[in-house]
Every structure is written in structure tokens, then in C-alpha cells.
């Protein structure tokens, strides 16, 4: 396949290596210093685009791919207030789009486990639940998109929960917990050189149940994005990563 990389930071470079290892070709690399090369003509040299840029540039990159008719995989988070609009646009077109808060195979298995556990815990309301997420200090959004997906999976399956709330805090000086009973609290920590750790905690007076996913590096995220790039061409419409992984 011929792949365009929209965003060529740490993730973009790892995606490039994995794509080349899987015998694909990178035909376009766009970063902040060569935005002028993001043209319809250049995009149409690619079979698919993989987008890992920033919340400030992702919507423009999506628009460029839509106009060029190039399928796009979007791993950037922090833009989901526009999700409904993007979904309607792609569902009404012949273009193809897939997004995820996290493309890692392991994380998507974790998402599924989180929902199964929440369904079981719905019968045991004396447990209180919260989510903790830890990322590197360069991460721009808080909470992480992955943590939001986890919290939404809990809300979907726990009758007592209605919404999530976030606290960005210091691991040495925890913030006060002002979450209401109907809230799922997400505690966010930013620590140097942490690719991503997510923990779901059910706590009661007698015991604690935890499930946890720890990323050792960014390779799992990058591999998942390349797998999505291999899966998307030939399809039409709007997809989430759940459509790609069979976790039934």
C-alpha cells in the first residue's frame, strides 16, 4: 500500500517504521514545517492516510482527505465535539474514515473487558468506581481519549452513573475528589516518559477490584493504526475501531 502520514512526530515515525517493515510505501509525510505540501494532488498518490497530528490541525487534515477522496485513519484525540458532523459527512459520501481513541489491540481488548466488568458490577452498587490514567508530560489533552472511552463504557453499563468528570492532578499531591455519586471520576496524571497506563478501580469497604492496561511503548498504538490502514481501503462510510476488532 501507499500511505500518507499526516503528522510526523514520535508516533508518525514509529508508524513509518512499522509500515515499511510490513512492506508498505510512505509517499507523503506532512508535519508543521511542510503544510504547503498537503495538496489534493499529493494526497491522491496515496491509497490511505494515517493522521496523528494535533487537535489544532486534525480537522483541517480530515477535510483535505475528504476533498481528495482518500481514506483516512485518525488517531488524534481532542476533537470529538465535531464527531457527529464528521460522521454525517462520511456516511453520505463514498469516502472512508475510521477513528479511535486508541488503536492498540491490547487496549481494545481492555475496552471490552471494562464493559463486561461494568455489567457484572451493576449488580453490586456498594462498589464505587473510578478511572486513573497516566501519560507523558507532552500529552496535550486531559483526560486522554482512552480514559474517556473507558469511562463511557462504564456509564453505558452502570445504572448509577450518568457522566464523567476529570481531575488533572499531581501524583505526589492528589487533588480533592468532588465527584458526585452519579459521576465517574477520571484522575489524570502527567509523568515524564510514560506511554500510557489506564486503571479501572472498583472499591468497597471490604475489598478492591482493579483491571489495568500498561503500554510499554508506543509501538502497539502504531501497529494498530497500520492494521487499520490495511483494513480500511475498499470500504465506504464512517467506522470506529470497534468495527475492525471482533470482540463479540
Residues with a catalytic annotation lie at 135, 139
Residues 217 and 10: their CA atoms lie apart, in Å, by 11
Cα(164)–Cα(150) distance, rounded to whole angstroms? 10
Per-position DSSP letters for 170-212, written without gaps between them: BTTBPPP----TTEEEEEEEE-TT--EEEEEEEE-SS-EEEEE
Q: Which three cell numbers stand for residue 234?
A: 475498499
Alpha-carbon span 164 to 98, nearest angstrom: 25
Other C-beta atoms closer than 10 Å to the C-beta of 5 total 25
Q: Can you read off the three cell numbers belonging to residue 86? A: 464528521
Instruction: At 120, list the grid cell.
Output: 457484572
How many whole angstroms from its chain centre is CA 99? 7
Cα 184 to Cα 13: distance, rounded to the nearest angstrom: 35
Return the axis-axis angle of helices 58-68 and 83-91, rounded to nearest 10°.
10
Amino acid at each position: 500500500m501507499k500511505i500518507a502520514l499526516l503528522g510526523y512526530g514520535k508516533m508518525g515515525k514509529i508508524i513509518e517504521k512499522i509500515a515499511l517493515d510490513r512492506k508498505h510505501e510512505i509517499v507523503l509525510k506532512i508535519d508543521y514545517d511542510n503544510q504547503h505540501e498537503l495538496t489534493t494532488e499529493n494526497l491522491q498518490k496515496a491509497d490511505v492516510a494515517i493522521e496523528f497530528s494535533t487537535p489544532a490541525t486534525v480537522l483541517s487534515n480530515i477535510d483535505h482527505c475528504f476533498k481528495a477522496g482518500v481514506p483516512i485513519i485518525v488517531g488524534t484525540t481532542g476533537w470529538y465535539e465535531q464527531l457527529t458532523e464528521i460522521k454525517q459527512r462520511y456516511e453520505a459520501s463514498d469516502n472512508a474514515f475510521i477513528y479511535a481513541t486508541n488503536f492498540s489491540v491490547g487496549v481494545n481488548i481492555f475496552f471490552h473487558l471494562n464493559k463486561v466488568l461494568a455489567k457484572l458490577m451493576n449488580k453490586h452498587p456498594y462498589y464505587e468506581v473510578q478511572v486513573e490514567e497516566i501519560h507523558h508530560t507532552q500529552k496535550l489533552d486531559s483526560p486522554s481519549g482512552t480514559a474517556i472511552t473507558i469511562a463511557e463504557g462504564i456509564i453505558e453499563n452502570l445504572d448509577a452513573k450518568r457522566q464523567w468528570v476529570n481531575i488533572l492532578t499531581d501524583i505526589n499531591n492528589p487533588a480533592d475528589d468532588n465527584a458526585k455519586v452519579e459521576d465517574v471520576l477520571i484522575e489524570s496524571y502527567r509523568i515524564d516518559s510514560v506511554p500510557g497506563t489506564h486503571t479501572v478501580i472498583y472499591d468497597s469497604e471490604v475489598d478492591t477490584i482493579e483491571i489495568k492496561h500498561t503500554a510499554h511503548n508506543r509501538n502497539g498504538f502504531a501497529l494498530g493504526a497500520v492494521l487499520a490502514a490495511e483494513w480500511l481501503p475498499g470500504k465506504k462510510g464512517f467506522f470506529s475501531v470497534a468495527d475492525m476488532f471482533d470482540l463479540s
